[in-house]
Amino acid sequence: MVKLHCGVYGEGRVFSVKIELSDDVEALQEAIAARYKVVSNRVEVYPATLMLYLVRKKEGENDKWLKDDKNVKSFLVGGIDEKYEEMRPSWKLDKGELFGPDFKPGEQEIQVLVELPKAAAGVVSGSQDMKELIELSVSKVLNERERSSRFTRYRI
């Protein structure tokens, strides 16, 4: 079992999932969807709607992964980088083109980029706006109730 770090496009959120290298990408989608529901504290996404990208660059014989550093959030919030390879659901994770059978994750590295379906991405990115709308609505109702109770006290 390995621990893979995933970065979510559009949010800047990074989290990890544990998975067997002998599993396929579809199992990784399922693990990410289950974990994302926990870390986002509200958003449920269907595994098949997640687009996953391998964040590896080959440099000679070595693999270079995306660093989880102070710049990663701005990278993730930006647009989707087309240079990374989409991971197909039927592919095995231990396939040489993905992680290979002897993969060992390094420290402070992200291995998988996650693209949420448009509806979930909108819900997550708009959650602060939604919170503000709810707070304004509650405030308005409380103010109206306060005014109404003042008028009813003085009626004869």
Instruction: Give the start-to-end residue ranges of the domains of the chain.
Output: 2-117, 126-156
Residue that is written with structure tokens 């289950």 in the block: 34
Cβ neighbours around 11 below 10 Å, total: 18
Of 69, 74, 93, which is closest to residue 9 (Cα–Cα)?
A: 74
pLDDT at residue 59, as a whole number: 80
d(CA 124, CA 37): 11
Q: What is the pLDDT of residues 80-124, one digit of tens each?
A: 888 899 999 999 999 988 998 889 999 999 999 999 887 555 544
Q: What is the pLDDT of residues 44-77, one digit of tens each?
A: 789 999 999 999 888 877 888 999 999 999 999 9
What architecture is domain 2-117? Answer: Roll (3.10)
DSSP 48: G
Full-prediction pTM beyond 0.85? no
Q: How would residue 40 be classed by pLDDT, with cut points 50, 70 and 90? A: confident
Q: Is the pLDDT of residue 1 over 90?
A: yes
